[in-house]
Amino acid sequence: MKKILIVDDEPDILEFLSYNLKKEGFKIYTASDGEIGLEKTYKYQPDLIIADVMMPNMDGIEMCEKIRSNKDFDNVLILFLTARSEDYTHIAVLESGADDFISKPIKPKLLVSKVKSILRRFEIDNKKTFYCHKEVELDIAKHCVKVSGKDVPFARKEFDLLKLLISTPGKVFTRRDILEQVWGTDIYVGDRTIDVHINRLRDKIYQDYIKTIKGIGYKLTD
């Protein structure tokens, strides 16, 4: 049974989400702010965390950053709830290490579909557990990357993006390919977010490992 931790300061939201996800067979835990959410993450080791952005004591983004800084939680998925539609809010939650987000007001069927999709996508992505190309080694099971034999820390989406590129060196991945396979088809991510993540990868591996194909996308040099 998959375990889901719901973190929100609104009791009605906690009750609504818990009810709809329990019906689908998930084990549910709840927390009313980021501090309690962090404590329960350590205690229960959930498969997925659904968190609000704006909360007292510790907001969702700070909680997410703390979780992502701990390697013990590399396989914990994080889905944000956001009432804001501004691009910068969506970029902020993704750059904090979140895997996806869903906008309020929440529709039960969409929520359940999103939760099942993100859990299924994670399981499919992790069937092959190890990639190696030139001086870069990527271990999915351990969620670690080595460059020239040294461990290099990668945020969740940086890791997923490198995993996509290293899966087929020499193949050109279009921006659409990257959006769909790294962020999913039901989420809006702008070109700036992709560029930021590509630049971070280049800083962490070797600049010439990732080649820009002008007007098309990117590839890992073969």
Q: Does the structural domain 130-220 have CATH classification 1.10.260.40?
A: no
Averaged over 63-80, what is the pLDDT?
A: 89
Share of the chain above pLDDT 70, in %: 93
CATH number of 3-125: 3.40.50.2300
Predicted confidence at residue 78, as pLDDT, reads 93
Please give the pLDDT value at position 186: 62
Q: What is the pLDDT of residue 142?
A: 82
Where residue 211 falls among pLDDT bands split at 50, 70, 90?
Answer: very high
Give residue 185's pLDDT: 66
pLDDT of residue 85: 62
Average pLDDT over the chain reads: 88
Torsion of CA 107, 58, 30, 3, to 10 degrees: 90
Q: How confident is the model at residue 128 (pLDDT cuts 50, 70, 90)?
A: low
pLDDT class of 33 with cuts at 50, 70, 90: very high
State residue 183's pLDDT score: 81
Q: Where are the domains of the chain?
A: 3-125, 130-220
Least confident window among 71-75, 128-132, 189-193: 189-193
